[in-house]
Structure formats: C-alpha cells, structure tokens
C-alpha cells in the first residue's frame, strides 16, 4: 500500500562523492517535507557508499540501498529504488543535479491542479559547480507520444509521477542507452499525456566530460531507440531524428 501524499525520490549513485551531498542538501531544503529519499549505490568505487550511510544517519527520511549483484547501471538502480519506494508519488533525481527549494511544492500543486499523472518542469543548465548559466530550457504545456518522439525536452531530474495513475510496470526503465527517454515514450505510448510546468525549478549540472556532450553518441542512442524500442521504420526514424536534432541544437545555443 502506497503512502498517500508521500513523495519517493530515487537517486542512482555511482562514484558521485564529489556532488552527492549538495544534491541531497537541495532535497532537504525543500519547502515540502513529506518525502523519502532512496539513495541507490550501484557499487561505487569511491567514497559514495560511506557518504550515503553518513547522510542516512543524519536524516531518517533518507534510505540507503545497495544495488544487488554488482554494478548494473542507472536504469537498474532506479528500478531497484522504485520497487522499494513507499510513496504515492515518484520523482527521479540524478546524483549531481540540484533542485530549487520550492521544486516539490510547486510541482505537486501543479500535478494536483491539472489532475495529471505525469508532470515535468523547465530547467537551467549549470556549470560543473551547479551554478546556473542563465540558459533555461522552457517546456510545452502538454506533450503526447508523437510530439515527444521529435524532442527530448523532458529532463530526468524534473519529472514527477502519480503512482496511483501510472503503474510501476510503465515506470520501469528499459536497460538501454538513453533509458530515461525510452521510459517517457513508453508511458506516453500507453496513452498518458505529460504536463509541463514552464518554471525553472532544477539545475542540470554539466561536468566538462558529461555523457550528453558527445553529440555523435547522442544521435546514435536516439536512432537506436527509434528502431529498436519504438520499432519505427528507417523513414519514420529519419523524420523524427531530423526534428530532434534541430531542437536539441537550439536548446543548447
């Protein structure tokens, strides 16, 4: 039985000792306090696990978890955390990103006012120290499956789900590259519509050698999602990829 009104926040942790404490503090500073924070260590080789244990001792709302049977990646870590989450609502947060203090309060109010099952917010690119750069990514009011295929505007650390409306089966992330995008698509493909709150509530920290900075790899990941996950033919895939590439470029200018 899910706890009514509780927000479960799942954070996959792998060698994140340099950033994790700042991320956790941003959750602790939330103006909405009815949350649990599940920190899922994916067999880190740095001091992340020790840090997770220390933070959990300081705050009873923090639940330390260890991924089973060795390192499995972010998708498996998020799924492991989701399977143990007790809240009605589910949020994802990456171990190096930062939430504005009113992120949960405003997003929950928006979700309830809209009667939505899936919401996401605008966000701001940050530097390696999570200082905002002034580059804010705005989001549309609504996003359907077909619209989502041509844009990756939903950022993982901004999402919030009502698990009474979306079952954990749809929330389970495929273990593929760009697993977050694949998850949004599978939820939307099932008939849900995502609602966008166009307010900057998250800082997306971008280390100098971030995964998303490799443009060729990003194109390859999205192409493979079209072909393998969504089963689109080459012409459909090329069509959506062209629009995706233009929007992805404009978002970073």
Supply the CATH number for residue 172's domain.
3.90.550.10
Q: Which domain holds residue 129?
A: 3-252
Which pLDDT value is given to residue 226? 93
Give the pLDDT of residue 208.
Answer: 66
**Minimal CA–CA distance to 64: which of 75, 72, 53?**
53
Q: Please write the tens of the pLDDT for every residue from 148-206.
A: 999 889 999 999 999 999 999 999 999 898 999 999 999 999 999 999 999 999 999 98
Distance separating alpha carbons of residues 60 and 36, to the nearest angstrom: 9
Task: Characterize 44-77 residue by residue with b for buried, 16 or more Cβ atoms within 10 angstroms of its Cβ, and e for exposed.
Answer: beeebbebbeebbeeeeebbbbebeeeebbbbbb
pLDDT-flagged residues of the chain (< 70) = 208-214, 250-253
- The one-character DSSP state at 100 is -
Between strands 132-137 and 98-99, the pairing is: unpaired
Contact 27, 52 (CB under 8 A): no
Domain tally for the chain? Answer: 1
Q: According to the model, what pLDDT value does residue 252 have?
A: 61
Dihedral sign for Cα atoms in the order 161, 245, 73, 48: negative
């Amino acid at each position: 039985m899910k706890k009514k009104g509780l927000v479960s926040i799942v954070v996959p942790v792998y060698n994140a000792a340099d950033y994790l404490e700042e991320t956790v503090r941003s959750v602790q500073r939330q103006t909405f306090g009815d949350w649990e924070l599940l920190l899922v260590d994916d067999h880190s080789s740095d001091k992340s696990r020790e840090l997770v244990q220390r933070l959990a001792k300081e705050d009873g709302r923090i639940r330390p978890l260890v991924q089973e049977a060795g390192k499995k990646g972010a998708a498996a870590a998020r799924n492991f955390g989701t399977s143990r989450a007790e809240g009605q609502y589910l949020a994802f947060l990456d171990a190096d990103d930062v939430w504005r203090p009113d992120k949960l309060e405003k997003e929950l109010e928006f979700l309830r006012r809209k009667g939505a099952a899936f919401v996401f917010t605008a966000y701001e690119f940050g530097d390696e120290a999570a200082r905002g750069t002034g580059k804010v990514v705005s989001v549309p009011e609504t996003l359907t499956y077909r619209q989502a295929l041509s844009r990756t505007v939903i950022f993982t650390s901004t999402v919030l789900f009502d698990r009474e409306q979306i079952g954990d089966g749809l929330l389970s992330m495929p273990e593929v590259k760009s697993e977050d995008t694949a998850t949004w698509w599978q939820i939307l493909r099932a008939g849900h519509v995502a609602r966008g709150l166009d307010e900057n509530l998250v800082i997306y920290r971008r280390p100098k050698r971030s995964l998303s900075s490799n443009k060729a790899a990003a194109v390859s990941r999205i192409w493979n999602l079209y072909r393998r996950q969504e089963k689109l033919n080459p012409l459909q895939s090329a069509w959506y990829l062209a629009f995706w590439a233009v929007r992805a470029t404009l978002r970073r200018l």
